[in-house]
């Protein structure tokens, strides 16, 4: 999944356009990026089909395991799942379905894959999306504070804190927070639920109370993920800000007699934000693929869990649908990152 990411990002650095007129250059740049993304997506569509048929496991056998099943029943199951057709035929059906927006029926749940994925998408978006944004905001702020106070107590505490959290396995951090804040420890009462998205006694899932209830359920997992993601942003922000602060133009700005705060905010921070922005946008592309371990620990029915469990069958239609969405999100995020970068940093375009 991460393979296409790196190559596409690398593209942003090279490919200088040698066009004479600036405007057409920009459009050519945008056009080539969009076309490249579409090509990558097309490749994923084809690749997906074969990838999951290569992994070990026979869905019919899994779905018929540990039961009294005759050969005739196995045949019947094979036919129900549409696996009796020759592979090229299955591939054509898959292509036709995919391009008409149909992903087929899940082998395990026998429901349309699109519906299942959408049901699982929003918990993942809420969980990982919120965490990514929170981590980015807090992380960037911590990184700035650290860089401005390099070597001071604030810097050491913030860096040590985020590195410690970064080196903890997410699921473990989750279990610890769960044990302390959901079960309660010593003077700390039980503050948060032990898992899930709703309380069992919520009747109307669309009511305001249900929304609050979900927020309450998501608090611990979001805190866990935010803490785990924090270091990524704070450390990058810190180091790029430090880099910028050593540049000549900062010395120049200082020499002009500008106030320190102004130099930091208008000159250094703006430039230092470039790598962080890329990171945030790219990570947003990975939001949909979920956080499998945290979804497991906190029993959140997200896309990550859906995909790992589909792997056990293997549930081809769900896997194809989910990976198409994961890939599309990453490719789209890359495209946005490329375009944003060229807009933020004109050097990339010319």
Partner 1 sequence: MNLPVKVVIQVESDRMKKAVAGVAAGVVGLAISAVGTAAPHAASAAEPVTFTVGIQNEVDSFNPFLGIEAESYEMWALMYDPLIKYSPEDMSPQPGLASDWKTSSDGLTWTFTIRDDVKWSDGKPLTSEDVAYTLNRILDGGPESATWGSYLKSINTITAPNPTTVVMKLSEPNAVLPLLPMPILPKHIWSDISEEEVKSYANEDNVVGSGPFRLVDGTAGGSIYRFEANKDYWDGAPNIDQVVFSLYKAEDPMVQALQIGDIDFAEGVSPLQLDAIEGTEGIKTVLGTSPGFDEIAFNTGSIDLDSGDLIGDPNPAVMDPEFRYALGFAIDRETIADKIYQGAGEPADTIIPPAYSTYHWSPPDDIAFSYDPERAGELLDAAGYTMGDDGSRTMPDGSPIGTLRLLARTDSQYDASLKTMTYFKEWLADIGIDSEVTAMESGKLTNVILDGEFDAFQWGWYVEPDPDSMLSYMTCGQLGSWSDSWYCNDEYDQLYNQQHSELDEATRAETVKRMQEILFRDSPYLVTIDNKYGEAYRCDRFEGFVPQPGSDGVLLFQYGVNSYLNIYPTTECGQSSDDAQSAGAATATTDDGISTATIIGVGVAVLAVVGGAGAVIAYRKSTADKRA
Q: Is 156 in the site for partner 1 (CB under 8 A)?
A: yes
Query: How far apart (Å, rounded) are the C-alpha atoms in residues 292 and 240?
Result: 30
> Shortest gap between Cβ of 286 and partner 1 (angstroms)?
21
- Residue numbers 235-294 binding partner 1 by CB under 8 A: none
**Phi, psi for 284 (deg, rounded to 5):** -60, -30
Q: Mention every residue, 6+ apart, whose C-beta is less than 8 A from residue 267.
A: 244, 249, 250, 253, 258
Q: Is 16 in the site for partner 1 (CB under 8 A)?
A: no
> Shortest gap between Cβ of 280 and partner 1 (angstroms)?
15
> Shortest gap between Cβ of 294 and partner 1 (angstroms)?
10
Residue 38 vs 176, nearer CB to partner 1: 176
Q: Is 189 in the site for partner 1 (CB under 8 A)?
A: yes
Name the segment binding partner 1 (CB under 8 A); options: 20-28, 41-49, 163-171, 334-342: 163-171
Query: How far apart (Å, rounded) are the C-alpha atoms in residues 350 and 345?
Result: 10
DSSP, collapsed to helix, strand or coil, labels residue 202 as coil
Cα 280 to chain centroid distance, Å, stands at: 10
Q: Mention every residue, 6+ apart, whose C-beta is less than 8 A from residue 73.
A: 64
Query: How far apart (Å, rounded) are the C-alpha atoms in residues 201 and 247?
Result: 59
Contacts with partner 1 by CB under 8 A: the residue count is 85
Name the segment binding partner 1 (CB under 8 A); options: 11-19, 63-71, 259-267, 342-350: 63-71
Per the listing, tokens 């459009």 go with: 27
The answer to whether residues 145 and 234 touch, using CB atoms and an 8 Å cutoff, is: no
Here's the x/- map for partner 1, 89-108, by CB under 8 A: it reads as: ----------------x--x
**Phi, psi for 316 (deg, rounded to 5):** -50, -50
> Shortest gap between Cβ of 109 and partner 1 (angstroms)?
5
Can you tell me which of 45, 113, 116, 333 binds partner 1, judged by CB under 8 A? 116
Tokens representing 290 are: 């979920």
Name the segment binding partner 1 (CB under 8 A); options: 22-30, 275-283, 301-309, 339-347: 301-309
Can you tell me which of 306, 325, 330, 331 binds partner 1, judged by CB under 8 A? 306
Name the segment binding partner 1 (CB under 8 A); options: 32-40, 86-94, 189-197, 254-262: 189-197
Q: Is 137 in the site for partner 1 (CB under 8 A)?
A: yes
Q: Following DSSP, what letter does each residue of 114-150 receive, concatenated?
A: HHHHHHHHHHHIIIIIHHHHHHHHHHHHHHHHHHHTT
Residue 26 vs 132, nearer CB to partner 1: 132
The answer to whether residues 106 and 312 touch, using CB atoms and an 8 Å cutoff, is: no
Name the segment binding partner 1 (CB under 8 A); options: 35-43, 57-65, 282-290, 326-334: 57-65
Q: Is 70 in the site for partner 1 (CB under 8 A)?
A: yes
């Amino acid at each position: 999944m991460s393979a296409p990411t790196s190559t596409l990002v690398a593209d942003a650095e090279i490919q200088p356009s040698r066009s004479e007129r600036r405007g057409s250059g920009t459009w050519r740049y945008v056009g080539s990026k969009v076309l490249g993304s579409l090509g990558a997506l097309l490749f994923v569509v084809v690749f997906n089909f074969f990838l999951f048929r290569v992994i070990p496991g026979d869905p019919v056998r899994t779905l018929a395991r540990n039961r009294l099943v005759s050969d005739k029943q196995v045949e019947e199951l094979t036919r129900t799942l549409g696996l009796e057709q020759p592979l090229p035929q299955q591939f054509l059906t898959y292509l036709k379905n995919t391009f008409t927006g149909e992903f087929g029926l899940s082998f395990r749940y026998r429901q349309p894959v699109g519906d299942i994925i959408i049901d699982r998408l929003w918990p993942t978006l809420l969980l990982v999306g919120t965490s990514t944004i929170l981590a980015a905001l807090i992380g960037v702020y911590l990184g700035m504070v650290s860089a401005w106070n390099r070597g001071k107590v604030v810097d050491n505490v913030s860096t040590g804190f985020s590195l410690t959290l970064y080196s903890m396995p997410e699921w473990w951090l989750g279990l610890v927070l769960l044990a302390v804040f959901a079960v309660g420890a010593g003077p700390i009462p039980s503050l948060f639920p032990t898992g899930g998205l709703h309380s069992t006694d919520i009747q109307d899932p669309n009511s305001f109370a249900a929304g609050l209830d979900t927020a309450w359920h998501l608090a611990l997992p979001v805190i866990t993920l935010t803490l785990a993601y924090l270091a990524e942003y704070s450390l990058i922000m810190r180091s790029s800000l430090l880099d910028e602060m050593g540049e000549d133009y900062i010395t120049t700005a200082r020499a002009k007699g500008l106030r320190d705060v102004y130099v930091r905010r208008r000159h250094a921070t703006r430039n230092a934000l470039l790598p962080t922005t890329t990171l945030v946008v790219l990570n947003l592309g990975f939001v949909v693929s979920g956080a499998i371990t945290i979804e497991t620990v906190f029993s959140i029915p997200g896309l990550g869990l859906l995909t790992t469990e589909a792997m056990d069958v293997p549930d081809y239609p769900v896997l194809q649908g989910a990976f198409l969405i994961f890939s599309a999100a990453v490719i789209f995020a890359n495209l946005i990152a490329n375009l944003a970068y060229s807009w933020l940093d004109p050097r990339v375009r010319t």
